[in-house]
């Protein structure tokens, strides 16, 4: 059971006295709407006001002007303590209470809300399970006995304990090493598939922003919103020089990591089944530039390529000896970035896409990736996150 | 060196003086702690109060005890109050500095998390700040208790009604420096300090099971 509510910034500003516009942490006229159930990443260099913007939502910082709505209610009209109990909050240093056990930490907001101890304990165990920590091993420990990654998991569990509609995350994975960070990012995306909370996520890392965000808000020093949109739009159409510089010269490559093989329209290579007549293979190559035919086994699993010159005379049967296994195998979940990288590494610049059983679905070439990027036609973020669309199945080999 | 016959004949008196010693110490620690806690919270809330508070309590700490104890006789007469007031004044510096250090040592991220998850200021203070300050607060109580136990002996200059185990030290001087009495007064007082300190260490471990691995600093180094 989960609920989510939209979060709207309406010309929210935070000015600090003394200095003019452009002072660190200030926010200028921020207007954006995060639809319910989406992850919005605020990203920008330090001092751009992204953390200030985040803290205006749970009123750790009060805006100088403008307002912020959760659902349809101005947060300034709500009781600040009650407001904060209804918003999950995760910070970089985690801020677990050292004098409380992991179980008590997770049950913080339920305790503040006055839940019965038995219900609190059950909820804490459920959440520890959810974030991948065995309650029987972890619930009674103190935070000092946890690793950085484990602490951050407990921090996330604490934030969602009372099922808040909105989650604020301030550089939540900034203090852990890259391997743990990637794992935590993937776990959060997996959790979000079921939780569907409205998440506002602050980071200074553009790669993290692109990976985590349904929507990305790029901010620049002075607290100006430089661009707001889906990650692909930020990468393919930077709104200003600042955004282009911030996302980096390799934004083309970054876009590759946003799309998966499933987003491509797959082409069928010329293919024949093991044991087919050589004449069939020769016909398959007719009128086609490729000088190779793909040999499949009886379950459509690719065995390798047979060069045109190596096809024996008509009447002979094709066997495995003739095939050269040289293509990388991809599946529909492979990102285009990984796919391209594998193609560049391989002897043959054709990637074969197979399903879970290893049966051929189609092929990917560097050209087809380039063409896809040029057209910019890709599934929306939403579809990317959900299960991949069924890849077009080629007609069965004769 | 020790006259066992004297010892055997004075067990009752030693017990009485030990109880008196503990009584004066307990009152001093309780009252001193209560006053200091208020001062420390004030100092933490209003940073500019901290300097003056430490300056005044530090100044009190430098007053020679031999001069301070008789000072209150004209006001309070020869009552327990005359002994307790100076003892409390001496304890303030130790308490205030330790309680402030304890509250200051609460990590900022923990406070931010407490605010962000919806603790009210009062709940945050009693359920987060005070528990996390406990290791340093109890360290302050230990120091104050041990220091007070030493100072109680000096209240003997107020007369035979006072002094706790220090009574025997003053008696020994009067009896032509009778070593047994002086040693009993001094050693028993030391023993008392050690026992009280050990009890408080135990108490701290019980109160802060989460901090067993952490060392506890004793941030005060002033002397009387």
Using 50, 70 and 90 to split pLDDT, how confident is the model at B219?
A: very low
B105 touches A at CB < 8 Å? no
Contact A99 B210 (CB under 8 A): yes
Residue A88 bridge partners (DSSP): A167
Residue A200 bridge partners (DSSP): A40, A168
- What average pLDDT does the segment B192-216 reach? 83
Which uninterrupted H or E stretch holds B203? helix B179-207
Which tens digits make up the pLDDT trace of B115-151?
A: 999 999 999 999 999 999 999 999 999 999 999 999 9
At the topology level, CATH places domain B4-209 in MetI-like fold (1.10.3720)
Q: Minimal Cα–Cα distance from B30 to chain A, Å? A: 25
3-state class of A397 per DSSP? coil
A105 touches B at CB < 8 Å? no
Sign, CA dihedral A138-A144-A147-A152, equals positive
DSSP collapsed to 3 states, B53-98: HHHHHHHHHHCCHHHHHHHCHHHHCCCHHHHHHHHHHHHHHHHHHH
A175 touches B at CB < 8 Å? no
Contact B118 A84 (CB under 8 A): yes
Contact B115 A108 (CB under 8 A): no
pLDDT of residue A374: 80
pLDDT at B25 > cutoff 50: yes
Contacts of A139 (CB under 8 A, 6+ apart): A101, A102, A103, A124, A125, A128
Contact A112 B116 (CB under 8 A): no
Q: Minimal Cα–Cα distance from A154 to chain B, Å? A: 13
Q: Span A261-385: which CATH code?
A: 3.10.580.10
Using 50, 70 and 90 to split pLDDT, how confident is the model at B36?
A: very high
Q: Minimal Cα–Cα distance from B103 to chain A, Å? A: 14
Chain A residues in contact with B131 by the CB 8 A cut-off are 99
- In DSSP notation, A240-283 reads SHHHHHHH-TTHHHHHHTT-BGGGS-PBPPPEEETT-BHHHHHH
pLDDT at B220 > cutoff 60: no
d(CA A181, CA A178): 5
B213 touches A at CB < 8 Å? yes
Chain B residues in contact with A94 by the CB 8 A cut-off are 109, 113
Chain B residues in contact with A98 by the CB 8 A cut-off are 107, 110, 132, 210-211
- In DSSP notation, B119-150 reads --HHHHIIIIIHHHHHHHHHHHHHHHHHHHHH
Q: Minimal Cα–Cα distance from A144 to chain B, Å? A: 8
CATH number belonging to the domain at A7-251, selected among 3.40.50.300, 1.10.1200.10, 2.60.40.420, 1.20.1560.10: 3.40.50.300
Chain B residues in contact with A96 by the CB 8 A cut-off are 110, 113
The interface pTM score, or ipTM, of the predicted complex is 0.79
Distance set, CA A202 to CA A64, A286, B100, B109 (Å):
21, 56, 34, 16
A167 touches B at CB < 8 Å? no
- What average pLDDT does the segment B62-67 reach? 89
Strand ranges for A53-142 from DSSP E:
65-70, 73-74, 87-91
pLDDT of residue B88: 96
pLDDT in tens, chain A (398 residues): 458 999 999 999 999 886 555 577 899 999 999 999 999 999 999 889 999 999 999 999 999 999 999 999 999 999 999 999 999 999 999 999 999 999 999 999 999 999 999 999 999 999 999 999 999 999 999 999 999 999 999 999 999 999 999 999 999 998 889 999 999 999 999 999 999 999 999 999 999 999 999 999 999 988 999 999 999 899 989 999 999 999 988 888 888 888 888 888 888 888 888 878 888 887 777 765 667 888 888 888 888 888 877 788 777 777 777 788 778 888 888 888 888 988 888 877 888 999 888 889 899 988 888 888 887 544 444 344 443 333 333 333 33
- Token readout for A311 is 């096809």
A79 touches B at CB < 8 Å? no
Q: Minimal Cα–Cα distance from A182 to chain B, Å? A: 23
Contact A91 B116 (CB under 8 A): yes
Nearest to A229 by CA among A36, A10, A41, A9: A41
Q: Distance between terminal CA atoms of chain B?
A: 31
Contact B107 A109 (CB under 8 A): no
- Listed in order, the ranges of chain A carrying CATH 3.40.50.300 are 7-251
Contact B112 A91 (CB under 8 A): yes
A83 touches B at CB < 8 Å? yes
B118 touches A at CB < 8 Å? yes
Q: How many CB atoms lie within 10 A of CB A187?
A: 17
pLDDT of residue A335: 87
Give the distance, in angstroms, between the CA of residue B15 and the centroid of all CA atoms in the same chain: 21
Contacts of A352 (CB under 8 A, 6+ apart): A269, A294, A302, A327, A328, A329, A330, A360, A362, A363, A364
Chain B residues in contact with A142 by the CB 8 A cut-off are 209-210
- Listed in order, the ranges of chain A carrying CATH 3.10.580.10 are 261-385
Residue of A nearest to B208 (CA): A99
Mean pLDDT value across chain B: 89
3-state class of A167 per DSSP? strand
Contact B131 A99 (CB under 8 A): yes
Chain B residues in contact with A112 by the CB 8 A cut-off are 117-119, 123
3-state class of A291 per DSSP? coil
pLDDT at B212 > cutoff 70: no
Q: Minimal Cα–Cα distance from B210 to chain A, Å? A: 5
Q: How much is the pTM?
A: 0.78
- Token readout for A180 is 């743990």
Sequence spans of domains, chain B:
4-209
pLDDT of residue A22: 55
A108 touches B at CB < 8 Å? yes
């Amino acid at each position: 059971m989960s609920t989510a509510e939209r979060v709207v910034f309406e010309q929210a500003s935070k000015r600090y006295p003394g200095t003019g516009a452009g002072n660190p942490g200030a926010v200028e006229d921020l207007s954006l709407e995060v639809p319910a159930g989406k992850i919005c990443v605020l990203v920008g260099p330090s001092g751009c006001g992204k953390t200030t913007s985040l803290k205006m939502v749970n009123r750790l910082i009060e805006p100088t002007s403008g307002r912020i709505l959760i659902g349809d209610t101005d947060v300034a009209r709500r009781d600040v303590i009650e407001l904060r109990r209804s918003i999950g909050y995760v910070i970089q240093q985690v801020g677990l209470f050292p004098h409380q056990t992991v179980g008590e930490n997770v049950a913080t907001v339920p305790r503040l809300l006055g839940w019965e101890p038995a219900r609190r304990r059950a909820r804490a165990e459920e959440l520890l399970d959810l974030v991948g920590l065995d309650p029987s091993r972890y619930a009674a420990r103190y935070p000092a006995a946890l690793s950085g990654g484990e602490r951050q998991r407990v921090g996330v569990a604490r934030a969602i304990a009372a099922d808040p509609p909105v989650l604020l995350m301030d550089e939540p994975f900034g203090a852990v090493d890259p391997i743990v960070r990637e794992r935590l990012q993937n776990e959060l995306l997996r959790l979000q598939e079921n939780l569907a909370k409205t998440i506002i996520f602050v980071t200074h890392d553009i790669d993290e922003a692109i990976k985590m965000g349904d929507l990305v808000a790029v901010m620049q020093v002075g607290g100006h919103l430089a661009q707001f949109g889906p990650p692909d739009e930020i990468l393919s159409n930077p709104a200003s020089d600042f955004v282009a510089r911030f996302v980096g010269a390799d934004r083309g490559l970054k876009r590759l990591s946003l799309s998966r093989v499933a987003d491509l329209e797959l082409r069928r290579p010329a293919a024949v089944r093991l044991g087919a007549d050589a004449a069939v293979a020769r016909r398959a190559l007719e009128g086609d530039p490729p000088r190779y035919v793909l040999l499949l086994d009886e379950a459509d699993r690719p065995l390798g390529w047979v060069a045109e010159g190596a096809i024996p005379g008509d009447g002979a049967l094709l066997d495995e000896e003739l095939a050269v296994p040289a293509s990388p195998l991809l599946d529909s979940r492979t990102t285009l970035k990984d796919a391209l990288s594998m193609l560049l590494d391989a002897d043959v610049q054709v990637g074969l896409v197979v399903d879970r059983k290893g049966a051929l679905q189609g092929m990917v070439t560097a050209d087809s990736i380039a063409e896809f990027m040029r057209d910019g036609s890709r599934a929306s973020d939403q579809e990317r996150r959900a299960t991949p669309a069924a890849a077009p199945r080629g007609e069965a080999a004769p | 060196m020790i006259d066992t016959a004297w010892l055997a004949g004075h067990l009752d008196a030693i017990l009485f003086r030990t109880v008196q010693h503990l009584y004066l110490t307990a009152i001093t620690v309780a009252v001193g702690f209560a006053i200091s806690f208020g001062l420390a919270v004030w100092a933490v809330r209003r940073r500019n109060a901290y300097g003056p508070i430490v300056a005044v309590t530090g100044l009190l700490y430098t007053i020679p005890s031999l001069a301070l104890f008789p000072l209150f006789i004209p006001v309070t007469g020869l009552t327990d109050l005359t002994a307790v007031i100076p003892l409390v004044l001496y304890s303030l510096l130790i308490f205030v500095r330790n309680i402030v250090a304890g509250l200051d040592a609460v990590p900022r991220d923990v406070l931010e998390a407490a605010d962000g998850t919806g603790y009210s200021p009062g709940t945050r203070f009693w359920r987060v700040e005070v528990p996390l300050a406990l290791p340093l607060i109890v360290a302050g109580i230990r120091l104050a208790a041990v220091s007070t136990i030493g100072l109680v002996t000096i209240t003997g200059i107020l007369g035979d009604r006072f002094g706790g185990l220090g009574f025997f030290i003053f008696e020994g001087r009067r009896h032509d420096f009778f070593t047994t009495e002086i040693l009993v007064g001094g050693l028993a007082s030391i023993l008392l300090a050690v026992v009280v300190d050990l009890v408080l260490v135990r108490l701290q471990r019980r109160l802060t099971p989460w901090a067993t691995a952490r060392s506890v600093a004793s941030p005060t180094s002033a002397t009387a």
